[in-house]
């Protein structure tokens, strides 16, 4: 009867039941062309950004905390694995006791003190006939695997946050530069109007309107300076340094390159997104916990043994006549537990179903993230091109208006309109350039960061295929993996 029961207790595999699409709707080009590099942030061609990102991977506090959680998970798996091995204890004792002469019985009344010495080894072992302890170990090992993918999620989030914060700093610098140039242009027109006012060809209203525009431009500077300083402070926290030690030397987003990104096939995303693989590992751990809960319905078999020497005279301790031993075997079958075992089984089944739905959602959400990011990259690129055209036409209009103002052949309302249009167009272009950069970063994040070429399957028939290699970031060396992964 035992063999069929063991078969019933095998760890069940629950399929995700999610069919990946053949291709992304917003993708263009070959799916396997120019896949993202593991060090994808270098594609922006900024040494400063590269240095910041790679420093964050070794100095960020969240990444360090994630690595510490790996150490904890590995230790937990070793603790869980201890139940599969016999427990062996060495016992040594020395005792001296004397009975009371007033309370002793007639058999030992008045006896003197006695000494007892002993050394022994005791061993105990639970036969894991139903796989209960092995399931506990497997659950802990899968959680250790999940902790490694959690580290990857934290690292990827840190990298994208550093990149986006760096772009915010450069955006503030660009907007500050444009605001100062616009102040100079508005002030130049203001002086021209003052000259016309002095000769009587401009009114006090004209002067006041242009002065108002100059003041409006000057009012845009303090918020931009505040944003610049605050984002530098945020960047310092991300790389684990005080803000006073961080200096951003690059002055404009225009020096950055836009790396091309090919998303690949949707089916490949499941093996690339660390959050999906973390959800998969958590589901595998829940499967093992269900196995453990089911095995608790069956009897547990334990073996115990103890042997050693015991004597009342120390010099006779290791003599053959001082030898003693105990051997025992036990079987414990739960009969009435008040629903505890059944309740635990139902609890683990409920957790298993919950994590299955989380796993399915993470897969679908991954596809949606990539689709949204692809649309965002395309539209951001288009908006930059349109805003560049608006800036060019607005600049020409303002230059013509300023020239004709000097000649006295244009009214001030036209000059004010062209100035305002140019200022707004330049600021909108900088925002569009920033959105394009962050859209590319979002796409990299949606794809799970960089891609590694899978190793060929060289396993023979009947053997387990090689474990899929984890994507690790440079500078982050986690503790040694434990357990066996899913394939």
pLDDT in tens, 82-120: 999 999 999 998 888 877 766 655 555 445 678 888 899
Q: Is the pTM of this model over 0.85?
A: no
Asked whether the predicted pLDDT for residue 470 surpasses 70, the reply is no
Asked whether the predicted pLDDT for residue 52 surpasses 50, the reply is yes
Q: What is the mean pLDDT of the chain?
A: 85
Q: What's residue 49's pLDDT?
A: 96
pLDDT grade for 235, boundaries at 50, 70 and 90:
very high
Three-class SS state of 258: coil
Of 18-22, 145-149, 362-366, 467-471, give the lowest mean pLDDT range. Answer: 467-471
Q: What's residue 227's pLDDT?
A: 94
pLDDT grade for 13, boundaries at 50, 70 and 90:
low
Asked whether the predicted pLDDT for residue 464 surpasses 50, the reply is no
Of 190-194, 240-244, 454-458, give the lowest mean pLDDT range. Answer: 454-458
H helices within 9-117, ranges in order? 47-59, 61-81
Distance separating the N- and C-terminal Cα atoms of the chain = 32
CATH classification code of 2-94+115-446: 1.20.1600.10
Q: What's residue 260's pLDDT?
A: 87
CA dihedral 461, 466, 467, 470 (to 10 degrees): -150
pLDDT digit string, tens, across residues 379-402: 999 999 999 999 999 999 989 988
C-alpha dist (Å) from residue 344 to 95, 186, 215, 241, 340: 45, 74, 70, 47, 6
DSSP states of 160-196:
HHHHHHHHHHHHHHHHHHHHHHHHHHHHHHHHHHHHH
Q: What's residue 267's pLDDT?
A: 87
DSSP state of 308: E
Of 49-63, 106-120, 310-324, give the lowest mean pLDDT range. Answer: 106-120
* Between 299 and 474, residue with greater pLDDT: 299
Is the dihedral angle over the CA atoms 246, 249, 251, 252 positive or is it negative? Answer: negative
User: Any residues with CB less than 8 A from the CB of 189 and at least 6 apart, and which?
Assistant: 210, 402, 405, 415, 419
Neighbours of 260 (CB within 10 A): 12
Separation of alpha carbons 450 and 156, rounded Å: 10
């Amino acid at each position: 009867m035992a063999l069929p029961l063991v078969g019933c207790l095998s760890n069940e595999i629950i399929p995700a039941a999610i069919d990946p699409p053949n291709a992304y709707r917003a993708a263009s080009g070959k799916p396997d062309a120019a896949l993202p590099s593991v060090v994808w942030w270098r594609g922006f061609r900024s040494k400063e950004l590269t240095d910041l990102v790679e420093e964050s991977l070794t100095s960020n506090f969240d990444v360090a905390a994630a690595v510490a959680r790996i150490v904890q998970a590995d230790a937990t798996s070793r603790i869980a694995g201890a139940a599969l091995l016999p427990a062996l204890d060495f016992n040594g004792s020395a005792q001296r006791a004397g009975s009371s002469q007033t309370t002793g019985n007639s058999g030992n009344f008045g006896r003197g003190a006695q000494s007892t010495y002993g050394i022994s080894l005791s061993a105990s072992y639970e036969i894991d006939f139903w796989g209960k302890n092995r399931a506990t170990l497997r659950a802990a090992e899968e959680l250790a695997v999940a902790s490694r993918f959690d580290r990857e999620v934290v690292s990827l989030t840190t990298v994208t946050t550093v990149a986006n914060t760096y772009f915010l700093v450069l955006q503030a610098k660009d907007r500050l530069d444009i605001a100062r140039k616009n102040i100079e242009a508005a002030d130049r027109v203001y002086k021209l109007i003052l000259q016309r006012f002095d000769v009587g060809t401009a009114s006090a209203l004209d002067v006041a309107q242009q002065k108002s525009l100059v003041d409006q431009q000057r009012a845009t500077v303090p918020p931009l300076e505040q944003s610049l300083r605050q984002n530098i402070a945020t960047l310092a926290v991300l790389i684990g340094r005080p803000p006073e030690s961080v200096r951003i030397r690059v002055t404009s987003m225009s020096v950055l390159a836009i790396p091309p990104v090919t998303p690949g096939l949707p089916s490949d995303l499941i093996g690339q997104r660390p959050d999906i693989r973390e959800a998969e590992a958590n589901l595998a751990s829940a499967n093992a916990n269900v196995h453990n809960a089911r095995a608790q319905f069956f009897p547990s078999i334990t073996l115990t043994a103890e042997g050693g020497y015991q004597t009342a005279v120390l010099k006779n301790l290791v003599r053959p006549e001082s030898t003693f031993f105990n051997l025992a075997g036990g079987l414990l079958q739960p009969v009435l537990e008040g629903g505890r075992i059944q309740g635990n089984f139902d609890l683990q089944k409920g957790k298993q179903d919950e994590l299955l739905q989380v796993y399915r959602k993470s897969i679908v959400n991954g596809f949606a993230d990539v689709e949204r990011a692809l649309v965002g990259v395309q539209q951001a690129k288009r908006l930059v091109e349109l805003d560049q055209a608006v800036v060019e036409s607005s600049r020409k209009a303002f230059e013509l208006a300023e020239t004709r103002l000097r000649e006295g052949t244009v009214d001030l309302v036209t000059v004010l309109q062209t100035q305002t249009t140019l200022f707004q167009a330049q600021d909108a272009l900088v925002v569009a350039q920033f959105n394009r950069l962050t859209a590319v970063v979002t796409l990299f994040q949606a794809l799970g960061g960089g891609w590694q070429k899978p190793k060929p399957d060289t396993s023979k028939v009947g053997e387990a295929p090689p474990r899929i290699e984890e994507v690790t970031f440079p500078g982050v060396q986690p503790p040694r993996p434990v357990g066996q992964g899913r394939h």
